Amino acid sequence: MAFISFIEGPLLWFSFLFFAAGIVTRFIFFSFVIIKSSKPRNPGWSNTLVSFLRLFLPFHMAVIKKPVYAALRYLFHICLFVVPIWLAGHIALWEESRFDWTWGTLSDEWADWMTLLFLFIAAYLFIRRVILSGIRTESKKEDLLLIIITALPFLTGYFYAHGTLDSIAFLGDNIGTIHILSGELMLIMVAFLFCRTRLNREMCTGCAACELSCPTGTLEFRDEGRNRIFSYLLYQCISCGACVNTCPEKAAELRHEIDILRLFRPTSRETIRSVELKECEQCNGLYAPGPLMRKIENVGLKITDDYIQFCPKCRRSNYLERIRVSTR
Amino acid sequence: MTRKSVFRDPAQCMNCKTCIIACKLKHMFPPHNTTGAAADPKGVNLIQVYHVDPEISGDNVHQPFVSIACMHCEDAPCIKVCPSSAILKDSETHITLVDQERCIGCKACLWVCPYGAPSFNEDGKLVLCDLCIDRLREGKKTACEAACPASAIYVASPEEISELRARKAVERIAGGKME
Ligand code: SF4
Ligand code: SF4
Ligand code: SF4
Ligand code: SF4
Ligand code: SF4
């Protein structure tokens, strides 16, 4: 079976090397972009570093907002790393390999339970995505694919170790190969897997509070023409979640995304959101983001109509005009 | 302390801008950045003084100047729109106060304030006139009221202010001092 030996030999090597090369390249690009970037408001390296480290601590705002979901996410990621690295079966392979490497192993019982937990959470996340179509409809398909690719090695690995599918002819014979292939697919995918910020189109009001809170200057906005344009530099983002914590509309979110082209464009900014600006009815100047103004109107202010259609400058001049009339 | 309101009298104000300086000194706002990308010749100002178009009738020229700062609206729209509840009313004096730790800099308060009063520091956080609440608590006048050479600013309870205004109106009509 030439195909199987190819999968178990050269392709496996290729996936590991590809994975390593991807990680190193990304680290180099990341360091380059982060060092190069400087922002006048930046409170310094310590702040950036603290924000970065906070990413690994499960005690931030996102946890308070959705504690169960956040806990499941942490468990999911712990299992994702621990099981493949410390699985006795995998370590046996490393021992056999030319490197002769070995390290402590996870007991089989633990590995089984963690795998099942992992698969359970993956199924939950998958169903959640399918049902809650409100969550980012734009990239739903890729999200589902991502969950499938991540869960597949665990699923096949579990079947492989327990011989669940041995009675089914093709699957029973080839489950080991399928397991390796799915693992390789996941390793290759990791090189293109990014964690990035998105501003939800339906909820974001364009207030730019996220831009203000971003410690690295990754998110930026500029008012150009009739629009406020938010741009984002993927490699500069440290996934600290400051934008997510700040956003009053829960519109900023950090999401995994497979992006092949972006890997090779470390310094190109992308436009991630454009919001139209509201025009002052007196001076026709553009002043505030439109969706924010609509939201403010919906708050139901009693005295809205006299002034809310005007920019702050015209509000002041209208007030002055009233005073002038009253002191006449 | 009772409720506090502020009245800035356009008929008395003479555009000397002393209140602006007094307020900046009182709150120790950092010196203005006048160079570089962040240059802002005005910096954080809680008070703005404007002059409105003069009224000319014959030989009489009437030129009002108006100083504008937060009016401490009773039913303040800025409090209603603030998404992070960073603006509060002092329960005793009804002064509008800002919790800068909570402010996220979304500027919704600026877009809704009828007077365009909200001002933002260089971290993008809201700074608002606090009617010098610390001075009021000590029984002193606010910095701007104490400094104003034309006595154009009064900070007092709404009842005291309306009494004062009524007194002035009577004086204007009667053309003399009231007992
Ligand atoms: S803070 Fe939220 S609502 Fe405001 S611009 Fe950013 S994503 Fe949009
Ligand atoms: S874009 Fe958001 S997650 Fe990325 S660095 Fe800025 S604040 Fe942190
Ligand atoms: S900031 Fe504006 S809206 Fe808020 S209390 Fe002061 S004057 Fe009123
Ligand atoms: S800028 Fe600050 S105080 Fe003003 S509405 Fe936004 S969060 Fe509230
Ligand atoms: S009362 Fe105090 S804070 Fe308010 S404008 Fe006057 S000096 Fe400034």
Give residue limits of the domains in chain B.
5-35+42-174
Q: What is the pLDDT of residues A258-291, one digit of tens each?
A: 888 888 888 888 899 999 999 998 898 898 999 9
Candidate from A239, A244, A245, A272 with most ligand 2 atoms within 8 A of CB, to mutate: A239
Ligand 1 contact, A251 CB (< 6 A): yes
pLDDT interval class at A40 (50, 70, 90): very low
- Alpha carbon distance B158, A130 (integer Å): 59
Residue A152, CB half-sphere, CA atoms under 13 Å: how many? 20
Measured in angstroms, the CA of B139 and the nearest CA of chain A are apart by 30
Question: Which residue in the set A249, A292, A306 is minimally distant from B111, CB to CB?
Answer: A292
Check whether A307 has a pLDDT greater than 90: no
Q: What is the pLDDT of residues A116-151, one digit of tens each?
A: 999 999 999 888 888 876 555 556 678 888 999 999
> What Cα–Cα distance (Å) separates residue A305 from each residue in A139, A325, B112?
39, 20, 11
Domain boundaries B5-35+42-174, corresponding CATH code = 3.30.70.20
Number of Cβ within a 10 Å radius of residue A170: 9
* Three-state secondary-structure class, residue A197: strand
Measured in angstroms, the CA of B98 and the nearest CA of chain A are apart by 17
Question: Which residue in the set A296, A306, A323 is minimally distant from B108, CB to CB?
Answer: A296
> Could B37 and A40 be called an inter-chain contact, meaning their C-beta atoms sit closer than 8 Å?
yes
Could you tell me what percent of chain A has a pLDDT over 70? 86
Of A119, A57, A110, A54, which Cα lies nearest the Cα of A82?
A: A110
Residues with Cβ within 8 Å of B123's Cβ and at least 6 positions away in sequence, in order, are: A41, A212, B105
Position A101 scores a pLDDT of: 82
Q: What are the counts of helices (DSSP H) followed by strands (DSSP E) for chain B?
A: 6, 10
Strand-by-strand arrangement of the A270-279 sheet: A219-224, A227-232, A270-279, A286-289
Check whether A20 has a pLDDT greater than 50: yes
Measured in angstroms, the CA of A321 and the nearest CA of chain B are apart by 7
Beta strands in A120-237 (DSSP E): 193-199, 219-224, 227-232
CA of A168 to the centre of ligand 2 (A): 48
* Greater pLDDT, A260 or A79: A79
Beta strands in chain B (DSSP E): 5-8, 48-51, 55-57, 60-62, 65-68, 87-89, 96-98, 119-120, 126-127, 153-156
Q: Which ligand has an atom closest to residue B96 CA?
A: 3
- Alpha carbon distance B157, B168 (integer Å): 17
Structural contact between residues B108 and A296, judged by C-beta atoms closer than 8 angstroms: yes
Ligand 4 contact, B105 CB (< 6 A): yes
Buried b (16+ CB within 10 A) or exposed e, A104-127: ebbeeeebeebbebbeebbeebbe
Of A75, A89, A81, which Cα lies nearest the Cα of A117?
A: A75
pLDDT values of chain B reduced to their tens digit, one per residue, 179 residues: 889 999 988 888 888 889 988 998 898 887 665 555 554 556 788 888 888 778 788 888 878 888 889 999 988 989 999 999 999 999 999 999 999 999 999 999 999 998 889 998 888 899 999 999 999 999 999 999 999 999 999 999 999 999 988 888 888 787 766 55
| A302/B contact by beta carbon, under 8 A | yes
> Could B106 and A292 be called an inter-chain contact, meaning their C-beta atoms sit closer than 8 Å?
yes
Residue B56 backbone class (left: φ over 0; alpha: ψ -120 to 50; beta: rest)? beta
Structural contact between residues A177 and A11, judged by C-beta atoms closer than 8 angstroms: no
Size of interface A-B (CB pairs under 8 A): 90
- Alpha carbon distance B98, B73 (integer Å): 14
Strands A227-232 vs B87-89: parallel, antiparallel or unpaired: unpaired
Closest atom of ligand 4 to B108 CA is 5
DSSP state of B53: P
Structural contact between residues B79 and B96, judged by C-beta atoms closer than 8 angstroms: yes
Exposed / middle / buried, residue B53 (Cβ in 10 Å: 0-12, 13-18, 19+): exposed
Angle, nearest 10°, between helix axes A88-96 and A67-86?
30
Question: Which residue in the set A301, A308, A323 is minimally distant from B10, CB to CB?
Answer: A323
- Alpha carbon distance B7, B4 (integer Å): 10
CA of B124 to the centre of ligand 4 (A): 9
- Alpha carbon distance A270, A134 (integer Å): 24
Structural contact between residues A211 and A221, judged by C-beta atoms closer than 8 angstroms: yes
Q: Please state whether the predicted TM-score (pTM) of the whole model is above 0.95.
A: no
A96: tokens are: 């056999």
> Could B106 and A288 be called an inter-chain contact, meaning their C-beta atoms sit closer than 8 Å?
no
Q: A25-34, A44-53, A83-92, A161-170: which has the highest mean pLDDT? A: A83-92
CA of B177 to the centre of ligand 5 (A): 29
Residues with Cβ within 8 Å of A291's Cβ and at least 6 positions away in sequence, in order, are: A204, A205, A206, A275
- Alpha carbon distance A199, A138 (integer Å): 12
CA of B110 to the centre of ligand 4 (A): 8
Integer-rounded Cα radius of gyration of chain A = 26
- Alpha carbon distance A90, A81 (integer Å): 13
In chain A the domains, ranked by start, together with CATH numbers, are: 2-38+69-196 (1.20.950.20), 197-277 (3.30.70.3270), 280-326 (no CATH)
Q: Which ligand has an atom closest to residue A228 CA?
A: 1
The residue behind tokens 């195909």 is A3
Using beta carbons and an 8 Å cutoff, which residues of B are at the interface with A? 10-11, 36-38, 48, 50, 52-53, 55, 62, 64, 66, 68, 75, 77, 80-81, 83-84, 104-108, 110-116, 122-124
> Could B52 and A323 be called an inter-chain contact, meaning their C-beta atoms sit closer than 8 Å?
yes
Ligand 1 contact, A213 CB (< 6 A): no
> Could A312 and B77 be called an inter-chain contact, meaning their C-beta atoms sit closer than 8 Å?
no
Average pLDDT, chain A: 83
Integer-rounded Cα radius of gyration of chain B = 18
**Closest-CA residue of chain A to B84:** A248
Check whether A300 has a pLDDT greater than 80: no
